Structure 1
Amino acid sequence: MSRISYIDNLSEWKEGFEFFFPVKVRFSETDMFGHLNNTVPFTYYEEARTEFFKSKGFMQEWVKPDFEAIPVVADLQCDYLKQVFYDERINIHVKVNHIGTSSVDLHYMGRKEDGTICFVGRGTIVQISRVSGKSVPWTEEMKNMLVNKDKVKVKG
């Protein structure tokens, strides 16, 4: 696990997740060998991230046409650890790792039903203005909504 720079200790890291979103690998998401296509975890991350933000109370505001701030993905990465095949069920776990002024670094973990970790990832989401395209700082209330116990580093 030393090749994954954002995970210091896998045992501790995987225990920090509380939220997950279940997915089932569809036939259309596999290649001719029945393996999950390497682009699909990013779609799973999007689905899980959306549900995670809904659970925190964010999506409800962001989708309103008159709400100025919207979330955008600034970067996203995935590290593949085990093969995934058609028809397998995977839980996509999401947690906040770090909250910046207007950004949030999220971590992801894909786990099979037997508990095997098949892929992990991380990505930065930035809240920006629909009008200006410039970053919009989190309010204290928003930061509190994002915080997962005391496991999250908050800037400022």
Structure 2
Amino acid sequence: MRASYIKDLATWSSEFKFCVQVSVRFSETDMYGHLNNTIPFTYFEHARIEFLKEIKLMNNWLDPASDTFPVVADLQCDFAKQVFFDEVLMIYVKAAAIGNSSVDIHYMAQNSEGDIAFTGRGSMVQIGRHTGKGVPWTDEEKLLFTN
């Protein structure tokens, strides 16, 4: 892997604890059955939301009375192997670094043989619903990302 956010692949990949399973749908492929290069971002979104639900952080944001919600500030994907129609992938998610109001989230997709198909990372920022500006994580929220 050449991704700049991965210093040591073995260590990096061993730190993932949460994952979701996805199956590559026909509509997500080109005429050769190859996964369209935009689809991993959809998989990242699905996995990220399920991760945030799992750690109980999504609940507050879904409340219409909540003063904060998350936005994705940047997102990237690095491809390692081709992916084809009907493959089953495990999409792993972890919080790699927690900032004042942001979190750097990393992703890893493995095929059924355990090979890494693609990786990714992105920053998510918690912002104020009325101000549109970053809102710092509470100590409790920071703990949710690290447990």
TM-score by length of 1: 0.93
User: Percent same amino acid at aligned positions?
Assistant: 56
Separation in 1, partners of 2:79, 2:3 = 10
TM-superposed deviation, 1:85: 0.2
Partner of 1:43: helix, strand, or coil?
helix
Separation in 2, partners of 1:104, 1:89 = 28
Q: Deviations over 1:24-81 (max 9, x none)?
A: 0000000011000000000000000000000010111101111010000000000000
Unpaired runs of 5+ residues, structure 1, are 149-156
Does 1:47 pair with 2:46? yes
Aligned residues: 147
Task: Determine the structure 2 residue equivalent to 1:138.
Answer: 137
Separation in 1, partners of 2:92, 2:3 = 17
Does 1:85 pair with 2:84? yes
Does 1:104 pair with 2:93? no
Separation in 2, partners of 1:146, 1:130 = 21
Separation in 2, partners of 1:35, 1:130 = 39
Separation in 1, partners of 2:30, 2:59 = 36
Separation in 2, partners of 1:100, 1:12 = 22
Does 1:25 pair with 2:24? yes
Separation in 1, partners of 2:43, 2:106 = 13
Separation in 1, partners of 2:7, 2:58 = 31
Separation in 1, partners of 2:134, 2:16 = 27
TM-superposed deviation, 1:4: 1.1
TM-superposed deviation, 1:18: 0.4
Unpaired runs of 5+ residues, structure 2, are none
Partner of 1:119: helix, strand, or coil?
strand
Partner of 1:113: helix, strand, or coil?
coil
Partner of 1:144: helix, strand, or coil?
helix
Separation in 1, partners of 2:102, 2:123 = 7
TM-score by length of 2: 0.99
Residue 29 of structure 2 aligns to which amino acid in structure 1?
T
Separation in 1, partners of 2:120, 2:15 = 14
Task: Determine the structure 1 residue equivalent to 2:114.
Answer: 115
Task: Determine the structure 2 residue equivalent to 1:154.
Answer: none
Separation in 1, partners of 2:93, 2:84 = 21
TM-superposed deviation, 1:113: 1.1
